[in-house]
């Protein structure tokens, strides 16, 4: 299944009050595996950057002044997310901004039925604990040392790892983790990798092991299974 993990940075908290998206980062996942494909863009919000928001993500008016407007990248973003479920932390916040921006440029909004909220997942799995992205990274051992300030692409990459852990860890469906030997990995178009199947390992006892087992069994006094063995 294809899913998109994404995060946004904004000028504030209220799109209805004029706040805008200034950065978006999207990570493509197939069957809970990061494919390496992503969409990342900065946007000129065409409005001043409040000092409080700048302190969070470090994006200044000067830096954003030559970046494209959201409407210029909207079609490319819609093509990337396609009809996949969209995973975000406190997803209603990001969905609110995303759909506000799509509405401003006359594009179709994203149905909230596609929304997967990792904050809700974390609250269900770990009630009473801290559920910020930083706290979840610490809980699951995800390296966040590069997260000096908030950044949409970096935060989406961290959230993708957290999402894997929240939905069953790295062995989804009891499947064994594949060997990461580079010789068994084939890159294909779109940044997706295909791993060649490995030769099955022999999981049976050798003659020497069978002899040691028989010697050990012979030393047991009145073993339970002897009560049910047919008389010789």
Active-site residue set: 150
Residue 142 main-chain phi, psi, to 5 deg: -90, 125
Residue for token pair 């060997």: 179
């Amino acid at each position: 299944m294809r899913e998109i993990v994404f995060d946004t940075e904004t000028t504030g908290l209220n799109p209805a009050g004029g706040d805008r998206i200034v950065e978006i980062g999207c990570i493509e996942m197939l069957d809970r595996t990061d494919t390496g494909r992503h969409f990342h863009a900065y946007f000129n919000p065409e409005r001043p950057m409040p000092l409080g928001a700048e302190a969070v993500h470090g994006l200044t008016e000067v830096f954003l002044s030559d970046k494209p407007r959201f409407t210029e990248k909207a079609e490319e973003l819609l093509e990337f997310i396609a009809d996949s479920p969209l995973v975000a932390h406190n997803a209603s916040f990001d969905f609110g901004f995303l759909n506000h921006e799509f509405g401003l440029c006359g594009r179709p909004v994203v149905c909230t039925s596609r929304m997967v909220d990792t904050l809700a997942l974390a609250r269900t799995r770990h009630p009473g604990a801290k559920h910020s992205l930083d706290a979840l990274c610490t809980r699951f051992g995800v390296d966040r040392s590069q997260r000096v300030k908030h950044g949409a692409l970096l935060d989406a990459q961290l959230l993708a790892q957290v999402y894997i852990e929240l939905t069953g860890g790295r062995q989804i469906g009891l499947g064994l983790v594949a060997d990461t030997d580079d010789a068994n990995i084939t890159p294909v178009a779109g940044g997706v990798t295909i791993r060649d199947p490995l030769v099955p390992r022999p999981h049976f006892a050798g003659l020497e092991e069978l002899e040691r087992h028989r010697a050990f069994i012979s030393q047991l006094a009145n073993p339970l299974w002897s009560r049910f063995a047919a008389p010789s």
